[in-house]
Structure 1
């Protein structure tokens, strides 16, 4: 089948539609906010003719949406795998990152990671429907609610759904060079707690043993374990309640990332072997969410070759790479299901108050996605 690529994608019109999504703030830890975003996207998919199902959330996270589009074939289909949670808290629109367009760029919370990519993928399906062009296989869209924290409540759903499909397309942001992702590094998260001994910080400071002090030592030691093979970082810390009390507890979250599974396994052993620097303060380290390494095989490289040919017809290059910054593609790729990631929008500075996208890439990447849906 020769893909039809001259579909009437309009980047300006797409940006206007995307604006409603960006302005529906949906931070992972606010289940009600995520559910509002899921309802918005679910209605959009239903209007397109999909059979839409809301899957209740668990573990305190928001719901998921699964949309299936009608198709004559009963063979295994294409899974479009995306998330609608973001790292930006509700209020970011009013405090630091309002939706706005400045020339060729548009800004807003979650616009790059990954509402822009999700929107263009769904628009690609819509363009094919309007043109009466069938997809090569049945298409399912799965929108999840907790990817930004490692998908603890949705990994089982993702893997079960992926197993029913032949191909997985992930519209996470494009790489800085406009390329796509054919592999992801392994990632592990850890939860740490130090437990000290309280005392009055003014009257009896010497009697206390500070959990915060011990955690500070551990953070320095953890981050100094970083090598070229594996990184170690601490991104969350909470400790104490009153400044006039020596802190009893301090909690932190650490993340390690490695290109090879064996290096991550070694990192896990090192983290779990950490011990307190003093007998007066206890340290516990628990392993959290893990994303397995995804290494490209022949099927993934063949999928990329198909996408690259489509990109050439559209007039742009499409290099590929293995990448850090895990995604739900880690799971499907590690399962051996042909997965192509990084198919989303071109932009920069995700997870910051300068997060933005290149508006025109909504149309160009949308055309690429529509082409893939016709031939994979």
Structure 2
């Protein structure tokens, strides 16, 4: 069956609706803020006719929303999977990244990663329903709350829900060339703590052993382990309480990414075997959240070919690639469920104060999603 793509997507209406989402700030670690965003999206889905459930959060993180749309078939369906948590703290709208439009660009916190793509996917479902066009299979939308920190509280939910479906569509941002993602690299996070010996930094500096100094040495050593096969980076560090005290503790978080699982496994072994530089200080390394490598198989490539054919009809190319960065598609792809990622808006500079999308990409990407929902 050939998908019907001549749907009345309206750029201005979509951009106005997306603005309400962007202006509902929802950083991962602010559960109340995430829940406000989940409520906004849940209400939107309920108005569309979905049966909406709120799934309580855990680990101090926000709730999730699951929406199921009516369909005559009971066969395993299509899972549209997205996250509504962001890396931008509440207040970003007033301090550096307010919603604005400049030519073909629209700016705002999480507009690219990934509220834009999520909004388009839901709009595609809505337009199909208005037009009376059935999706090929039952559709479920799962909106999660902690993807930006590796999905520690939702991985079990994601995998359980995905197992009930035959295909997964992930509207994470499009690749810079407008392409989609058919595989993702493996990622591991680590929590590090150094412990030193306190002293008065002014009167008895020599008696202390600084945990911050030790962590600084470890950071340099860790980042110098980076190779073409695997990267090592430290992105968070907290140490000390008073400048006139030699710090007793220092905490850091590091991340490693590899294209192959065996390279990540080797990185994990290296990280867990790190030692302190001296006997007067100690180092503890704990493994955090891990995303498995997702390598494309024949079913994924067939799914891409189907998407590529739809994109060609719309009028744009749709290359594919494996990508870094990680997403919840790592989990479903590694499970062997045909997964197509990177279906969201074209844009740039996610996770920065210049995050934006290309407005002109909204309608073509929405049509692509609508086409996939009719044919996969």
User: Does the alignment reach a TM-score above 0.5?
Assistant: yes
Tell me the alpha carbon deviations over residues 22-54 of structure 1, each in whole angstroms, 9 at most, x when there is no partner. 000000000000000000000000000000000
Measured after TM superposition, the shift of residue 126 of structure 1 is: 0.2
Give the match for residue 8 of structure 1. Answer: 8
CA distance in 2, matches of 1:223, 1:9: 46
Deviations 1:150-184 (A, max 9, x none): 00000000000000000000000000000000000
Aligned partner of 1:343 in structure 2 is 343
Q: Give distance in 1, aligned partners of 2:302 and 2:359.
A: 29
Match of 2:75 in 1: 75
Does structure 2 retain, via aligned residues, the 8 Å contact 1:12–1:359?
no
Secondary structure, counterpart of 2:252 in structure 1: strand
Alignment of 1:259 with 2:259, yes or no, is yes
Residue 164 (structure 1) aligned with residue 164 (structure 2) = yes
Q: Distance in 2 between matches of 1:61 and 1:118?
A: 20
Q: Is the 8 A contact 1:195 1:249 kept in 2?
A: yes
The match for 1:201 is 201
Name the counterpart of 1:297: 297
Listed one character per residue, the Cα deviations across residues 268-318 of structure 1 (whole Å, up to 9, x for unaligned) are 000000000011001000000000000000000000000000000000000
Structure 2 distance, partners of 1:236, 1:104, is: 34
1:234 aligns with 2:234: yes
Whether 1:318 aligns to 2:318 is yes
Where in structure 2 are there 5+ consecutive unaligned residues? Answer: none
Give the deviation of 1:362 after TM superposition: 1.4
Q: What's the CA shift for 1:360?
A: 1.6
Match of 1:57 in 2: 57
2:160 is equivalent to residue 150 of structure 1: no
Offset of residue 13 of structure 1: 1.0
Q: Distance in 2 between matches of 1:125 and 1:25?
A: 24
Q: The residue matched to 1:360 in structure 2 has which SS?
A: helix
d(CA) in 1 for partners of 2:146, 2:300: 25
Q: Matches of 2:345 and 2:7 in 1, distance apart?
A: 18
Give the whole-Å Cα distance in 1 for the aligned partners of 2:362 and 2:38. Answer: 21
Distance apart, 1:214 and its partner CA: 0.1
- CA deviations 1:202-222 (Å, max 9, x no partner) are 000000000000000000000
1:24 alignment partner in structure 2: 24
In 1, the alpha carbon distance for the partners of 2:216 and 2:2 equals 59
C-alpha distance in 1 between matches for 2:304 and 2:127: 22
Moved over 3 A (4+): none
Query: Take 2:11 and 2:353, find their aligned partners in 1: how far apart are those partners?
Result: 23
Q: In structure 2, what is the equivalent of residue 122 of structure 1? A: 122
Does the alignment pair 1:109 with 2:109?
yes
Number of aligned residues? 376
How does the TM-score come out when normalised to structure 2? Answer: 1.00
C-alpha displacement of 1:361: 1.3
> What is the aligned partner in structure 2 of residue 99 from structure 1?
99
Q: Is the 8 A contact 1:237 1:253 kept in 2?
A: yes
Distance in 2, Cα, partners of 1:78 & 1:354: 33
Provide the C-alpha distance between the structure 2 equivalents of 1:137 and 1:355, rounded to a whole number of angstroms: 34
Cα distance in 1, alignment partners of residues 273 and 130 from structure 2: 58
Asked if residue 224 in structure 1 is aligned to residue 224 in structure 2, the reply is yes
- Provide the C-alpha distance between the structure 2 equivalents of 1:2 and 1:354, rounded to a whole number of angstroms: 39
Q: Hey, what does 2:181 align to over in structure 1?
A: 181
- Distance in 1 (CA, whole Å) between partners of 2:319 and 2:312 is 11
- Contact 1:237 1:252 (8 Å CA) reproduced: yes
Provide the TM-score with structure 1 as the length reference.
1.00
Distance 2:268 2:223 in 1: 14
Paired residues of 1:11 and 1:361 also in contact (CA < 8 A): no
Q: What is the CA–CA distance in structure 1 between the aligned matches of 2:363 and 2:208, rounded to whole Å?
A: 61
Alpha-carbon offset, residue 264 of structure 1: 0.1
